[in-house]
Amino acid sequence: MKVNAEKFLDNLDRYKLEKTVFFVSGNEEGLINKVQNIILNKHKPNIHNERKILDLKTDNKKNLKELTHTQSLFNKSNILQIKNPNDSLIESLEKINYDNNTIIIEGENIKNNSKIKKYFDFHKKFYSIVCYKLTKEFKKKLIDKLFDQHNCKLSKDAYWFFLENSSDDYQILENEVIKISNYGEVNASVEDISKLSGTAGSSQFEDLFFQCIVGSNQSIIKKSEIMIRSSADAYSFLQIAKNFLRILISSSVKKNENNIADLAEHYLPKYLFRQKTSFELAVARADLNKIRVINNLLQKAELYLRKNDSRFLIIIQRFLLNFSKTIK
């Protein structure tokens, strides 16, 4: 039976974690490892069980048969991990006695249309646990749980900044939480989280974007000279500008049907609510023609940057001033 990893982790008590078969697949290695570790921790090696690993790239089906049928004098049960599975494994699985075995099959990057994947997805007793990048809803739940476990508290803005900017990879996310919890600062700020979580500069780049909406040309130039110190900074800023342009498009399309303040509540990331007034001003001023012009400016800036990234500051400043002129 097919089970999403998020549902599995959220409802562990509902699932039988022994004397059955788990097929753990997907493209999210950190989540695959987490699921496997939870199952394995239910079967810590002791005098009553044995843990064994079988790699089908190097071991054959005969070894699988021996491992799953041989019982010791003390009637030990097997916890068997199988790596690099293929379709030929199905035949062996049909003959295994599960009264004495818990089997975890790791199928990272197995295609959805493969025979073995379909076999587990539709099996009535075996579990097919699929592991993909974390959804925002589950990521929030996970972050809350991890911060609670590590007794770590963030300021409101820092919390929402971390949620929006942290990795969707489980292991990276967990490592970032541990790093922040070890920081030891109560109510850490956005700037603290930005530095600790590897997103340094992003909050300042967002401020630079909003400066174009409300600031003078002189303030835009001055702030860009401080913020954009390398071609890497320039590329990062343009990526953030593209993200906000998408938000601006979504908001502008609906502004005739909705209150602009309500659109800000819905579309503006919560950690940026200090920029709510600037955002509402941009939505009020924007129309499809202006958005088309801004999008063209973005594309040109990216093109110029790829051709001559040594002129990164001039390229970004030209974009900023033209963007500011268009949106005002």
Tens digit of each residue's pLDDT (9 = 90 or more) over 278-327: 888 888 998 889 999 999 999 999 999 889 989 999 999 999 999 999 99
The predicted structure's pLDDT at residue 199: 52
Q: Are residues 96 and 21 in the same domain?
A: yes
For position 188, which CATH number holds? 1.10.8
The CA distance from 9 to 4, in Å, is 9
State the DSSP H helix or E strand holding residue 323, giving kind and residue range, or none if neither.
Answer: helix 312-327
Rounded to two decimals, the pTM is 0.61
* Domains of the chain: total: 3
Write down which residue in 196, 222, 241 finishes a domain: 196
Q: Are residues 146 and 187 in the same domain?
A: yes
Written as six digits, the tokens of 2 are 């097919």
Residue with tokens 């994947």: 117
For 256-266, b/e burial (b = at least 16 CB within 10 A) is: eeeebeebbee
Write down which residue in 196, 212, 240 finishes a domain: 196
**How do strand 127-131 and strand 2-4 relate by DSSP bridges?**
parallel
The predicted structure's pLDDT at residue 200: 47
Q: Are residues 127 and 150 in the same domain?
A: no
Written as six digits, the tokens of 286 are 């924007």
The predicted structure's pLDDT at residue 44: 63
Q: What is the mean pLDDT of residues 247-261?
A: 83
pLDDT of 128 over the 80 cut:
yes
Q: Which amino acid is at 301?
A: A
The predicted structure's pLDDT at residue 217: 93
Write down which residue in 131, 156, 172 finishes a domain: 131
Q: Are residues 219 and 181 in the same domain?
A: no
pLDDT of 67 over the 60 cut:
no
The predicted structure's pLDDT at residue 46: 59
Residue 165, domain extent? 136-196
Q: Are residues 79 and 163 in the same domain?
A: no
Q: Are residues 165 and 79 in the same domain?
A: no
Residue with tokens 């958005």: 291
pLDDT of 197 over the 70 cut:
no
For 276-315, b/e burial (b = at least 16 CB within 10 A) is: eebbbbbbeebeeebbeebeebbeebbebbeeeeeebbeb
Q: Are residues 104 and 40 in the same domain?
A: yes
Q: Are residues 20 and 44 in the same domain?
A: yes
- How does DSSP classify residue 76? P
Q: Are residues 172 and 210 in the same domain?
A: no
Written as six digits, the tokens of 324 are 């500011």
The CA distance from 213 to 326, in Å, is 9
For position 81, which CATH number holds? 3.40.50.300
Q: Are residues 260 and 153 in the same domain?
A: no
Tens digit of each residue's pLDDT (9 = 90 or more) over 33-53: 999 988 888 766 555 667 788
Q: Are residues 220 and 192 in the same domain?
A: no
